[in-house]
Chain A
């Protein structure tokens, strides 16, 4: 379907596809199997200027928005969403800085990110997942800065990234209103890495614990004002969710293409599987779902890029719908390919495993449906 992308957007999408097909395709199965972080691919992405896409022009970026980022994430995810996540999480780890950082902070960190240094975003803790307000990591005011103490869990790019955006409580008594955001360099004393998680899918991505023990960071590394941490985080996640939607669209697209290719060449009952009406019905259903998800993700990304004040609902809808589509389409793709779909020699079982996370992270689909319903009720109450 025609989405009326600009020439620059098409260039970005095409180059991302080329990298995915030429560099990622040959290694995706091995990296998934070994749970190995794709440093060589990150280097390729950096050389191709992909990390500049979401960085403002003033800081050596290309000044792209949510849609440009979504196009890259979609194309990479079409081949391997595990690898795409290392890239996308860097954008997530940069957005708070881009949105609320001081000139000095941006000058210090953004050109490095544009050049390919990885970033990460750290909110989740053992006691605080969907209930993000329950975080316990503290940032106490000390001489010359803040001292961080606590443990962050399930942090994408943990251990691999150089720059971390960490949410911690500067005032425990105020709960969520006492949270603040900090930039933490990887080599800061008192900052170490804990358990590296073994995962069902997106296994080429790194997911790790961050451990802070009297980790003193300079006062100048606080992003925004003290106590504004949660407001910034909520805004950040609204902004980044179309990216998860794009990841989901990419996986679903990859699965659809693999299913079409396999069912065309697999002969049963004297004809290709794709000639059977039951299979055609499934393939058509998958194609419709993928296209609808893409349309919603691009639309939400455009809302974000338009400078709209509130895009919680659009962004949540895009993420929820696209991730449910990804799970359904990858499952159906495995189904139409039968035994082959289930085997590791084919890419579909990996895509099905990879799809699942999109329904869970950056706001589980249940939490987001709840947010959408709240908006519906609020509007009704105002009417």
Chain B
């Protein structure tokens, strides 16, 4: 079973600050990590390999420092790693990202299952996995919480939906996106870390990828970020302090004066 896992390096925090002057994300001082949802994708890929044989290839589109994340993925059980890195890839929206990843997966050759996290911590769109399936022309099973069966030809997976879950069957190859319910990612091993330190990370740019330069990065993106801003608070909260009874009295006064009671 040849497994491809897509990974993204993201800032390791959910408390992202925005520079009020430039409206850009403040990334300095925040260590980069593997997108948490992608760690479940990687773990599931490694488990499939351990169960069925084959290999796990991790790919990521990002700046050169994302290579470090790919090494970490190798310490966690991945066999090969490809970094898609080119200045031309910068500014890509989900569409251009999916195109670039799809081109890389096609270039890798034979594959049976592509696994992505359900969404990223930073972009939060959840679109890349589905778009990737579309561009590869293969089926998608999104929000997978358990792989029920996997054979050479067929996948049966349980996916989460708003009302519960459903079990979907799909031929291979297939793209799946996974939720955090699917597994508990492992810690690295000492031998894995040693392997990751000496591993060769392939780096492909637009040319090596054989991609259409007009379809990658900012130029290949349909969505344009016009403005990033902190939403204005629509209402102002008032916090009463002091003795409880005095607080209740003040609350009643305020509600009365506002004509609410």
Residues of A within 8 A of B (CB): 8, 11-12, 15, 18-19, 22-23, 44, 47-50, 52-53, 62
Contacts and interface: CB of A to CB of B under 8 A. Distances in A.
A164 to B, nearest CB: 26
B189 interface: yes
Interface in B181-223: 186-194
Contacts of A49: 189-192
Given A15-B188, A47-B186, 20 more contacts: A8-B194, A11-B190, A15-B187, A15-B190, A18-B187, A22-B187, A23-B187, A44-B187, A47-B189, A48-B187, A48-B189, A48-B190, A49-B190, A49-B191, A49-B192, A50-B190, A52-B190, A53-B190, A62-B190, A62-B191
Contact of B191 (A19, A22, A52): A52
A-B residue pairs, 4 tightest by C-beta: A49-B190, A49-B189, A48-B189, A49-B191
A42 to B, nearest CB: 14
A15 B191 contact: no
Nearest to A23: B187
B40 to A, nearest CB: 16
A153 to B, nearest CB: 35
Interface of B: 186-194
Nearest to A16: B190
A47 B187 CA distance: 8
Contacts of A44: 187
B22 to A, nearest CB: 36
**Chain B interface main SS type:** helix
Contacts of B191: 49, 52, 62
A47 B190 CA distance: 9
Contacts of B194: 8
A323 to B, nearest CB: 28
Contacts of B190: 11-12, 15, 48-50, 52-53, 62
A11 B194 CA distance: 9
B154 to A, nearest CB: 30
A278 B15 CA distance: 39
B56 to A, nearest CB: 17
Nearest to A48: B189
Nearest to A62: B190
A19 B191 CA distance: 15
Contacts of A48: 187-190
Contacts of A12: 190
9 contacts: A11-B190, A15-B190, A18-B187, A22-B187, A48-B187, A49-B191, A49-B192, A50-B190, A62-B191
Contacts of A18: 187
A26 to B, nearest CB: 13
B187 A11 contact: no
A62 B192 CA distance: 12
A290 B188 CA distance: 29
Nearest to A11: B193
B134 to A, nearest CB: 37
A44 B185 CA distance: 12
A47 B188 CA distance: 8
B193 A15 contact: yes
B231 to A, nearest CB: 34
Nearest to B189: A49
A69 to B, nearest CB: 13
Contacts of B192: 49
Contacts of B189: 47-49
A49 B194 CA distance: 11
Nearest to B190: A49
A8 B198 CA distance: 13
Contacts of A62: 190-191
Contacts of A11: 190, 193
Most chain B CB neighbours (cut-off 10 Å) among A8, A15, A19, A53: A15
Contacts of B193: 11, 15
A15 B186 CA distance: 12
A48 B75 CA distance: 10
A8 B193 CA distance: 10
A186 B194 CA distance: 33
B192 to A, nearest CB: 8
A115 to B, nearest CB: 11
A8 B194 CA distance: 8
A53 B189 CA distance: 11
B33 to A, nearest CB: 14
A169 B189 CA distance: 41
A317 B192 CA distance: 36
Contacts of A52: 190-191
B1 to A, nearest CB: 21
A19 B186 CA distance: 10
